[in-house]
Structure 1
Amino acid sequence: MKIHHLRSATFIIETEQHFILIDPMLGRKGSLPPFSVFRFKLAKNPTVELPSNASDLLDQVTHALITHSQTFGFKPLQHGDHLDAEGERFLTMNTIPVATPKKDQAYLEKYGITVSHGVDDWQTVDFLGGRLTAIPAQHGHGWIHKVMANGCGFFLELPNEPSIYISGDTVLTEHVEKALKQFKPDITVVAAGQAQMDVGQPLLMPTDEVMEFIRRSPNKVIANHMEALNHCPVDRSALRNTLTAEGLIEKVLIPEDGETLVF
């Protein structure tokens, strides 16, 4: 298995037969509005361009997973950092089959996206000769997760490949802990940027929860969702410093945009 990290939460899983695109934010730098106006530095999103190898990798995509997209079915509130207009265009023009939370299926189909699997929380479905399980995700602490509309993480098991748990946009919950303990994934992916809006508590795991997630992960961890969105204050350097202080640096991979990890 190869993991091609593109930007933020967007990456591609390459297996012998498939290229699986995760959470396609594919627009140009600055194509989305700021997600924070006064809490963090004001800037349009994404704050960086896609890496130079993105086009060649996207040409090979066969399937996609979208961990979350809609909020109350209202288009202006779509989670553009996981599915933006260019991501939609890519999926529809290429008729890419998509797996997504069941509650998002009708919304995506409304906009012409081909949904092959709408998966309920803790449901396991057949997927590419293996299995795909949806793990509940809580998109923030406190009241804000209800406004954000929760998606899911995905645990993916494919033949002759390491298993991978993409935890998605979530804080550390009993569901996340259960997935780590029950499935014992070979690879886990954690969103480490500690995103926050101008009001409310963090939308992703704060750093102490990221550290606990890493401790509970049985094997290698990939940290992403950093340095591409203006509401994510934790960058790669800060994360490395914390991991070093906690004695966890050898367990975690922090890919640069465009980097390929081989497992």
Structure 2
Amino acid sequence: MTPRDASDDSRWSDLGRPPLNGTALRRALVRDGGLWNDVQIVASTGSTNSDLAARALAGRAAEGAVLIAEEQTAARGRLDRRWSAPARSGLFFSVLLEPAVPVARWGWLPLLTGVAVATGLSRAAGVDTALKWPNDLLVTVDGQERKAGGILAERAGDNAVVVGVGINVTLRADELPVPGAGSLALAGAAGTDRDPLLRAVLRALEQWYGRWVEADGDPAASGLQETYAAGCATLGRTVRAELPGGRELVGEAVAVDGDGRLVLATENGVQEPVGAGDIVHLRPV
């Protein structure tokens, strides 16, 4: 955690962005027999994923730990891409999971989290969301799809995974990090109070994770594969996958297979799956 400098209070003085209520969140989320057992909030840190992974490796965190930051100064996306947002303008958190399912199925965790985030935000914010394979949350702003959130899953030792989520909630147009970004507020969300949004997302994540683990990580038996496909904006579109080494693959995204890979139907009639770890960029044609 980075201590807050009193000389930098301007970052924290926006009355439209009140702090999260840690006591209320713990009371709502931590319960006997539930997944979440430890909910902590820090004012500012580099990366909640890095912090929570370090705690797990040191034996100071177990499955069900949730670490939330009001501000992240060194947040990371996929392939170590940087991501930033003003303090208290979004939801920036990580959870620690120890899935008792075959490791080969752990690749579904980012997709599962995407389904949970979309489900929770739909209920609590009243805004339509879509998922861009493999790890982006999309909202519609002025008739255009914009990225309003992302998900990053990382191993933390042999038995654990840290899943980080970043969601732009109240970012204004002049605060967007790139032109293609968006936020729930810009998408016309009915509510932008971060406390109920976070509760809804974490409850949905607990439900989907429980179903998936109960099905031994089987995406079909748990309903995850079908639900993800129904909310995935990538499917049905012609896309260009930029692969390592400068290779490109163009085709229609026709399915997400049992391993969580995107299946592209190329112009020569071949269906070729691509994994999230193989993609540098995925762009519409």
Question: Does the TM-score normalized on the shorter chain lie above 0.5?
Answer: no
TM-score (norm 2): 0.25
Which structure ranks higher in relative contact order (CA pairs < 8 Å, sequence separation ≥ 6)?
1
Looking at secondary structure, tell me which structure has more helix per residue.
2
Structure number with bigger Rg: 2
TM-score (norm 1): 0.27
